[in-house]
Chain A
């Protein structure tokens, strides 16, 4: 086998099939398979704690990919992801716990219900853009959360609902490792779907809408249809992530879906890279691990500064905000762009051109 780490130095396609391929060179394809294999095998050696963290990162990545479809690719800013996660989580909770349906039926239904709610709140996007849309989605967040916390008979009010882990043919996904694999399969499917979406007519229409929606309309893109569709697809994945998160935590309650969560998801796609599928994953991992890493750093330093542990929560907020601002100032295209730059540097290394 040829060295899989050798970089491609240009695109020399001889037919359309090669040009349209998802991963254009066989060596890149091998590399992707190797990375997927690595993540599929690592729970076998890692501890339950690490696998649990990886599961949380993966679930966040599914939601972040969903949000990136809407915000990064279609240009519709949404500050309502937290509430949509909640809709997904609660739908699944009500279907499985209250109505006794199987998880495998409830998961897609949770996705579709969230997608419908998302599309409903996406309807104003035809008239509103940019800032106004962001504020409208923020209002959606506040209103949905209010309905969730007040509709006691359906949602259990502020106490929330209890969920169980999914089961299939007597096998329960109760262990961290089994749930990781469940999440992993859905994450891979989501990633593949989204990568392919943006090679299709619909995906390209989304990008046209982002770049200039009036111009897109002039070349024959039905703005209303595609904007609502973007909200629909995006909210579907957010709903799936919400349901997965609900079944992982085994509880849903209103405070898990506050505005802070929406902001965290926006930060994920910003830090990862707007309009980049893999960027969403990098960002989700980064933002999910940030407080964990911060806590361990503080534990190291707490021997020298004993007061440090007391201010952990405040420090988390400061670091979170600083990360957003620093990324926006120094690398607005996020981690995906940084990774791209590193690869570009090594493409012809050690020759400069």
Chain B
């Protein structure tokens, strides 16, 4: 039972980070119908920037995180302006390949600047494990969970009350109607890319604190696909619930099934689930069903 709870807690924490990264992914899809295959590289760049600020420039964690977020937002804006704006209204394969090309460029830059070795974050959270009932949790997990919950709350408030958030929801709902109400759709697109880069950077910093930093972190960019599809590609609550479900399933697979097959199934399980979702419920739990007319 303790083992089960341990796996459950790990799953929820990892899942909440997935939820955060998937939030950025869904946001871009919702506002501009673009799928961002470079989400994992956004995460990687953010993590490395934060790591460099902390370990090379000896900046404390919180200011370093804030600088990282500003940097990520700028990166998101820049990429939207230079690359993605040319692809508004282009066929879907162009968009997919453009973001794949983008991910290759970012990954290459990360390799050039930071190399291939795994790096570790300096100790930020205390190492003293916390006991909750029968299970033992590292503080970094609790902090991650707390930060994710705060971020998600902030975004909920942002979308509900701020002018920009409401404008973004309006654009997602109907671009033309939003335009005719005087909302600048271009600004909205740029803003959604900036937010996507910011949430990925936070996710990356958290995962980097748990597992160490190397370029395989960008795999999370692919893990986001099952998460977003499970929740429904255009649903923000779906991304959050989907993230936690996928995180828990992954952790459970790692704990119970991996010893049976000799490891590795943990990484593949989200994709097996993905195939089943696509077969039986392609629009996910909360996604809007598209009706196609000729």
Contacts and interface: CB of A to CB of B under 8 A. Distances in A.
Contact of B278 (A124, A311, A313, A328): A124
B191 to A, nearest CB: 22
Nearest to B229: A135
Contacts of B106: 321
Contacts of B275: 124, 136, 139-140, 143
B12 interface: no
Interface stretch (B108-116, B130-138, B244-252): B108-116
A314 interface: yes
A348 to B, nearest CB: 32
A137 B279 CA distance: 12
Contact of B101 (A77, A136, A325): A325
A338 interface: no
Interface in A135-167: 135-136, 138-140, 142-143, 146, 149-150
Contacts of A270: 93, 97
Contact of B98 (A142, A316, A324): A324
Interface string A204-217: 00000000101100
A128 interface: yes
A82 to B, nearest CB: 13
Given A135-B229, A142-B268, A317-B108, A218 B92 contact: no
A75 to B, nearest CB: 8
Contact of A267 (B97, B226, B261): B97
A321 B264 contact: no
B104 A321 contact: yes
Given A317-B105, A317-B107, A143 B271 contact: yes
Nearest to A324: B101
Contact of A263 (B100, B108, B278): B100
A320 interface: yes
A263 B268 contact: no
A318 interface: yes
B278 A136 contact: yes
Contacts of A138: 222, 225, 271
Contacts of B87: 328-329
A135 B275 CA distance: 9
A332 B279 CA distance: 32
Contacts of A127: 278-279, 282
Contacts of B83: 325, 329
B100 A317 contact: no
B127 interface: no
Interface in A250-281: 259, 263, 266-267, 270, 274
Contacts of B264: 146, 149-150
Contacts of B128: none
Interface string B238-269: 00000000000000000000000110110110
A212 B294 contact: yes
Given A315-B112, A332-B90, A134 B101 contact: no
A146 B265 contact: yes
B156 interface: no
Interface-central residue, B105, B110, B293, by most chain A CB under 10 Å: B105
B103 interface: yes
Nearest to A215: B294
Chain B at the A interface: SS class: helix
The size bracket of the interface on B is 35 or more
Interface string A287-312: 00000000000000000000000010
Contact of B108 (A124, A130, A140, A318): A318
A135 B103 contact: no
Given A150-B262, A314-B112, A315-B112, A274 B104 contact: no
A220 to B, nearest CB: 14
A132 B261 contact: no
B96 interface: yes
A149 B265 CA distance: 11
A194 B4 CA distance: 55
Given A150-B264, A328-B94, A318 B86 contact: no
A132 B279 CA distance: 10
Given A132-B282, A318-B108, A324-B101, A218 B294 contact: yes
Given A124-B278, A128-B282, A136-B275, A328 B265 contact: no
Given A139-B274, A328-B101, A311 B93 contact: no
A20 interface: no
A131 interface: yes
A322 interface: yes
B174 interface: no
Given A136-B278, A314-B109, A130 B92 contact: yes
Interface of A: 71, 77, 124, 127-128, 130-132, 134-136, 138-140, 142-143, 146, 149-150, 212, 214-215, 218, 259, 263, 266-267, 270, 274, 311, 313-325, 328-329, 332
13 contacts: A124-B275, A132-B278, A134-B92, A138-B225, A140-B275, A146-B264, A218-B294, A259-B222, A314-B111, A318-B108, A318-B109, A324-B98, A329-B83
